[in-house]
């Protein structure tokens, strides 16, 4: 691993943080949309409605502000806007990348359909994808803003490839575009970028392709910019310890839903990047008690020392009732702060090696 997470983590510690230890708290990305936002979108698509595109844009702005403040109220150290403007993690970006086109939805399971895009021509970068979104959120937030981006491997794997000889070549071209977008975001002030690669969980043998994509993504990106990689579910033993070679600062992993059965996968050899551990389940509509979340946090301390542990939900929370999503975040932050206090008091035994000095 060529990046050093210790050079960019401390910038997210709040000035008012009361404990010596600091467990960085964040959220993966998606969050339940207010019901009125969905209604506003329906009205904007109704030819008989007087609800215009400008009205819809104002509704998106309002929703982003509401959810950003909701994340801050829960106490998160870094926030996102809940991806209020995004409809789906591939479709949103495909609409913004030259070379993609849409030919109608495809059936994925049961009665569910996915508007799966096609790559009909060589992909190219045109206008920024997320800069306006980031700048708006930064202007309404008091906390640092994290920017989730669907990764190039998932953008390639979850699309029809009609233009490239191999999906690998497509993924590498998309990685170059993601690099260009991150450069624009950094110019706008972004300091925390998360690459989402859920497709890796279903095709783990392609971990080397993802590694090369990440090398292209971080090219010329300064080390003070935090780069995370989120991969949800799957057999992590098929990508570990290979992910130690990824040029990332943080690996975000979904383990709570599986009762941490795979936590030992990451203990041998030593885990190199920071660990962003899911400590609340994104698939259950129940708010975990603080004491339960504290025990989940301690699972992460089997892998990395506290100064390398980030606390987050397992995955995006968009499918949960909004009050449940908020309750999970609020209890997650409370649990993290209590674990910090116990670490300060020496009440928690640490079995992992201390972080290496610079």
- Three-class secondary structure assignment of the chain: CCCCHHHCCHHHCCCCCCCCCCCEECCCCCCCCCHHHHHHHHHHCCCCCCCCHHHHHHHHHHHHHHHHHHHHHHCCCCECCCCCCCCCCCHHHHCCCEEEEECCCEEEECCEEECCEEEEEEEECCCCCCHHHHHHHHHHCCCCECEEEECHHHHHHCCEECCCCCHHHHHHHHHHHHHHHHHHHHHCCCCEEEEECCHHHHCHHHHHHHHHHHHHHCCCCCCCCEEEEEECCCCHHHCCCHHHHCCCCEEEECCHHHCCCCHHHHHCCCCCCEEEEECCCCCCCCCCCHHHHHHHHHHHCCCCCHHHEEEECCCCCCCCCHHHHHHHHHHHHHHHHHHHHHHHCCCCCCCCCCCCCC
Is 64 within any annotated ligand binding site?
Answer: no
Residue 236: domain span: 5-32+75-345
Residues 41, 46: Cα–Cα separation, whole Å = 9
In a domain, residue 53? The reply is no
Residues 61, 72: Cα–Cα separation, whole Å = 17
Check residue 52 and give its pLDDT.
Answer: 86
Q: Using alpha carbons, list the distances in angstroms from residue 117 to 14, 30, 87, 114.
A: 41, 21, 14, 9
Check residue 3 and give its pLDDT.
Answer: 84
Is 101 within any annotated ligand binding site?
Answer: no
In a domain, residue 303? The reply is yes
C-alpha dihedral (89, 37, 325, 275), degrees to nearest 10: 30
Check residue 234 and give its pLDDT.
Answer: 85
In a domain, residue 16? The reply is yes
Q: What is the mean pLDDT of residues 45-65?
A: 89
Lowest mean pLDDT among 39-43, 97-101, 224-228, 291-295: 39-43
Residues 336, 123: Cα–Cα separation, whole Å = 42
Q: Under a CB-based contact definition with an 8 Å cutoff, are residues 312 and 277 in contact?
A: yes
Number of structural domains the chain divides into: 1
Query: What is the bridge-based pairing of β-strands 250-253 and 226-231?
Result: parallel
In a domain, residue 95? The reply is yes
> Residue 175 maps to which CATH number?
3.20.20.210
Q: Is the pLDDT of residue 357 over 70?
A: no
Check residue 168 and give its pLDDT.
Answer: 96
Q: What is the pTM of this model?
A: 0.93
Check residue 202 and give its pLDDT.
Answer: 87
Check residue 38 and give its pLDDT.
Answer: 87
In a domain, residue 338? The reply is yes
Is 261 within any annotated ligand binding site?
Answer: no
Check residue 111 and give its pLDDT.
Answer: 61
Q: How confident is the model at residue 355 (pLDDT cuts 50, 70, 90)?
A: low
Q: Under a CB-based contact definition with an 8 Å cutoff, are residues 130 and 181 in contact?
A: yes
In a domain, residue 61? The reply is no
Q: Is the pLDDT of residue 68 over 80?
A: yes
Q: Is the pLDDT of residue 358 over 60?
A: no
In a domain, residue 268? The reply is yes
Q: Is the pLDDT of residue 33 over 50?
A: yes
Q: What is the mean pLDDT of residues 168-174?
A: 97
Is 111 within any annotated ligand binding site?
Answer: no
Whether the ω angle into residue 231 lies within 30 degrees of 0, i.e. cis, is no
Query: What is the bridge-based pairing of β-strands 147-150 and 106-109?
Result: unpaired
Check residue 201 and give its pLDDT.
Answer: 87
What angle (nearest 5°) sits at the alpha carbon of residue 10, between those of residues 7 and 12? Answer: 125
In a domain, residue 240? The reply is yes
Q: Under a CB-based contact definition with an 8 Å cutoff, are residues 310 and 276 in contact?
A: yes
Residues 206, 225: Cα–Cα separation, whole Å = 26
């Amino acid at each position: 691993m060529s990046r050093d997470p210790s050079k960019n983590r401390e910038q997210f510690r709040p000035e008012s943080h009361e404990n010596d230890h600091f467990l960085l708290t964040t959220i993966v990305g998606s969050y339940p949309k207010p019901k009125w936002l969905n209604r506003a979108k329906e009205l904007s698509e109704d030819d008989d409605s007087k609800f215009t595109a400008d009205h819809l844009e104002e509704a998106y702005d309002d929703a982003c502000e509401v959810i950003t403040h909701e994340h801050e109220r829960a106490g998160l150290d870094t926030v996102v806007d809940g991806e209020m403007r995004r409809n789906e993690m591939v479709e949103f970006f495909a609409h913004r990348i030259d070379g993609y086109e849409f030919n109608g939805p495809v059936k994925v399971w049961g009665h569910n359909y996915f508007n799966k895009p096609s790559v009909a021509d060589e992909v190219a970068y045109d206008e920024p994808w997320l800069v306006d979104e980031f700048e708006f959120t930064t202007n309404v937030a008091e906390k640092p803003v994290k920017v989730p981006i669907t990764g190039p491997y998932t953008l390639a794997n979850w699309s029809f490839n009609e233009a490239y000889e191999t999906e690998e070549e497509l993924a590498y071209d998309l990685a170059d575009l993601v690099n260009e977008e991150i450069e624009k975001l950094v110019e706008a002030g972004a300091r925390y970028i998360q690459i989402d690669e859920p497709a890796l969980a279903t095709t783990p043998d392609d971990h080397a392709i993802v590694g090369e994509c990440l090398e292209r993504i971080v090219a010329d990106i300064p080390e003070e910019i935090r780069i995370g990689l989120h991969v949800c579910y799957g057999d992590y033993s098929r990508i570990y310890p290979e992910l130690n070679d990824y040029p990332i600062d943080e690996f975000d992993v979904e383990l709570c839903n599986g009762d941490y059965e795979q936590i030992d996968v990451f203990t041998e050899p030593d885990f190199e990047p920071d660990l962003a551990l899911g400590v609340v389940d994104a698939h259950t509509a129940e708010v975990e008690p603080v004491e339960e979340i504290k025990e989940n946090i301690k699972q992460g301390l089997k892998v990395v020392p506290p100064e390398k542990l980030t606390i987050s939900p397992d995955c995006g929370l968009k499918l949960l009732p909004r009050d449940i999503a908020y309750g999970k975040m609020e209890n997650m932050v409370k649990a993290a702060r209590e674990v910090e206090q116990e670490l300060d008091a020496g009440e928690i035994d640490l079995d992992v090696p201390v972080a290496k000095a610079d």
